[in-house]
Structure 1
């Protein structure tokens, strides 16, 4: 074997060892780290779909560039796989910009992807909350209506930042709204329309104190935990607060702040969702924040940290970290 051949095989061997070593490090990764995946992403919707965790975030960029959404899946919260363009402009005829804040649920043997689009400023503009459907959580999702599901400004609430909640009786409700107002609506069984409440109204305003945007609802031990974002999304005061009620209709009296910046870790922590892990009382907050030193409004990343309750059922303030969370495989 000549000298050139020796050099070639040595190079190949070194490369193989390097790749193998990197793979071993990845396989032995004990915590997710924050952010949990690279890229500018905000408004993350976390969900358990089948035997996997999923995160559907907003692509954080200037409004005119927000014409698609990626998704990320994981079996253990630590190793994440990217699914590009699960929803995009080619599948939404009325989208032109500002594709925001996904909400994804599994129902009727399908997956429903609710989204905000076009950042409408008045009722003469086309846009609002739409819904797309797919047979798989990785899409491709296709617009189901050809128009917004909610395309008007009602009770002062800009139609954005929707979250769809399924109560124990099987009824779905949507909470949504920007501009400091939050509405709730009752969803039809097909999840493609809204139906009146018992009193005949279609929209109920449920705005709590200091509400700005980003509503989220969950239920634990018979209590309804309503959460929302406060402050300005471009600034360091962005944060999450919550209330507890005996009914999905409230009233929602503000209890306190449960997520906010840590000047040693990151700023502008907010617009969150919550994932239930396989443990009896295992909860994770999925949220976005701005890395230290980043000043551009769109420089936002998606992170995960543990969320705990105290013995009285109150949510303890979430500590934001660089380390993230430990692996927690879902039960099969």
Structure 2
């Protein structure tokens, strides 16, 4: 009788959605060529803002993805594109996002500038909602010069314990840190009068990330070449925003049985817990095109000494996790 009833329900379309429900996120967590994911938690929702991974002249917009459980993701098309940033013409990538006083600030790199005469660098867009639409905030780049050898790309925005926001950024093997004005319209010099400080650790290439856990400052970055199999994530630990940051080791890299070129990540912590996740991009084993990258998620754990355990990249991804 029960089997007959189940069969009828399946035919009627009531049971199939339950049978098809995903148990884990799977990797990639959503379809399409996306890289350099910036992950954030707003309220009880997870958000991921990746680079649209395409040739530079086509890479002129951003999509976003949201989820309440890390498993099922909703796509939000075109949260920002170059039509809303008049100075951005090509290669918009590697966003960072911050919510402050009810507004959402979206930082991004654009134009892939190669010298200080070119127009481009790190810009800021603003919106009232996490899904946008975002519009250019300044009408010009926030950072538009190559300082200390750091190409102005791959920015990460970090809020310190005292509420001060910093921008940590840089490509070409150099990383700078600068203090942001309260309204994100510019930079504020440090006490010694300098605006930019170089904090490049050994092996740094791009993609900085910083977070605090149990009073320690974890500084992470990507190494190797973004199109190659040596792309990976390393980290250092310091006692303050000023470091010093000495490399501890590599925590994320390719697995020849799973995917290549795992790197350029972000990190989220479940509020009120010591649960951590790493969101990153990698290249499927079947792909050789440099732009064919996908966004993935796996757990990130620490040992008893506070060191990050090597991350095992998986095809399964993670189980559902709602925010209470």
For normalisation by structure 1, the TM-score amounts to: 0.93
2:286 alignment counterpart: 293
1:117 alignment counterpart: 110
Distance of 1:289 and 1:22 partners within structure 2: 32
Give the number of aligned pairs. Answer: 317
Aligned-residue Cα RMSD (Å) equals 1.5
CA contact (8 A) 1:215 1:226 kept: yes
CA contact (8 A) 1:278 1:328 kept: no
Q: Map Cα deviations across residues 176-204 of structure 1 (whole Å, 9 max, x no partner).
A: 00000000000111012111111111000
1:58 alignment counterpart: 51
Displacement of 1:319 in angstroms is 0.4
Stretches of 4+ moved more than 6 A in 1? none
Evaluate the alpha carbon distance shift between residue 112 and residue 324 of structure 1 in structure 2; reply closer, same or farther with a 3 A threshold. same
* Residue 24 (1) aligns with residue 12 (2): no
* Superposition pairs of residues 100-111 of structure 1, within 5 angstroms: 100-111=93-104
Evaluate the alpha carbon distance shift between residue 22 and residue 83 of structure 1 in structure 2; reply closer, same or farther with a 3 A threshold. farther
Evaluate the alpha carbon distance shift between residue 18 and residue 125 of structure 1 in structure 2; reply closer, same or farther with a 3 A threshold. farther
* Superposition pairs of residues 238-253 of structure 1, within 5 angstroms: 238-253=231-246
1:3 alignment counterpart: none
* Superposition pairs of residues 215-234 of structure 1, within 5 angstroms: 215-234=208-227
Displacement of 1:278 in angstroms is 4.0
Unaligned runs of 5+ in 1: 1-13
* Residue 39 (1) aligns with residue 37 (2): no
Unaligned runs of 5+ in 2: 1-7
Q: Map Cα deviations across residues 31-85 of structure 1 (whole Å, 9 max, x no partner).
A: 1000000000000001001220000000000000001000000001011000000
Evaluate the alpha carbon distance shift between residue 25 and residue 98 of structure 1 in structure 2; reply closer, same or farther with a 3 A threshold. farther
Distance of 1:270 and 1:21 partners within structure 2: 39
CA contact (8 A) 1:108 1:190 kept: no
CA contact (8 A) 1:44 1:101 kept: yes
* Residue 96 (1) aligns with residue 107 (2): no
Displacement of 1:149 in angstroms is 0.2
SS at match of 1:65: coil
Distance of 2:18 and 2:76 partners within structure 1: 23
SS at match of 2:235: strand
1:148 alignment counterpart: 141
Distance of 2:19 and 2:57 partners within structure 1: 39
SS at match of 2:99: strand
- Give 1:206's match in structure 2, choosing from 199, 204, 216: 199
Displacement of 1:277 in angstroms is 1.6
Distance of 2:28 and 2:17 partners within structure 1: 20
Larger radius of gyration between Structure 1 and Structure 2: 1
For normalisation by structure 2, the TM-score amounts to: 0.95
Displacement of 1:17 in angstroms is 4.1
Evaluate the alpha carbon distance shift between residue 84 and residue 22 of structure 1 in structure 2; reply closer, same or farther with a 3 A threshold. farther
- Give 1:162's match in structure 2, choosing from 143, 150, 155: 155
1:276 alignment counterpart: 269
2:124 alignment counterpart: 131
